[in-house]
Amino acid sequence: MDDCLFCKIIKGDIPSARVFENDDVFAFRDINPQAPVHILIVPKKHVANVLEGADAGIMDGVMRAAAQIAREQGLAENGFRLITNCGRDGAQSVNHLHFHLLGGRQLSETMA
């Protein structure tokens, strides 16, 4: 997608603080972190959100990447949150499926 911010980041046309990459998944630090660790985990193939859906292999890769990154970032012992926003009410601002990995402090018990 030519006009997609995250596609441009994945291609390297826009700089990012990359923390993980393989054939299917790219992960980088959120520019506006909401926690000491705030990483965006993104399938390289453009999919708008969970309603559009990514194939099972890609979603498995995203979840495996999330677990690996969480361990590498030192979040395994105390835990973390992994969330995706979808659409207007979900406050999705970038229409390329992504998961927020948040941790490094005690997170709020409320989700909204």
Q: Which residues bind ligand AMP (CB under 6 A)?
A: 5, 14, 16, 28, 30-32, 40, 85, 91-94
Closest CB 4 distance from ligand AMP, rounded Å? 11
46 is catalytic: no
What is the identity of the amino acid at 22?
A: N
Closest CB 72 distance from ligand AMP, rounded Å? 19
CA dihedral 32, 2, 93, 10 (to 10 degrees): -40
Show the tokens assigned to 93. Answer: 């601002």
Q: Which of 24, 45, 37, 43 is CA-nearest to residue 84? A: 43
Is 77 or 88 the residue whose CB approaches ligand AMP more closely?
88
Positions annotated as catalytic residues are 98
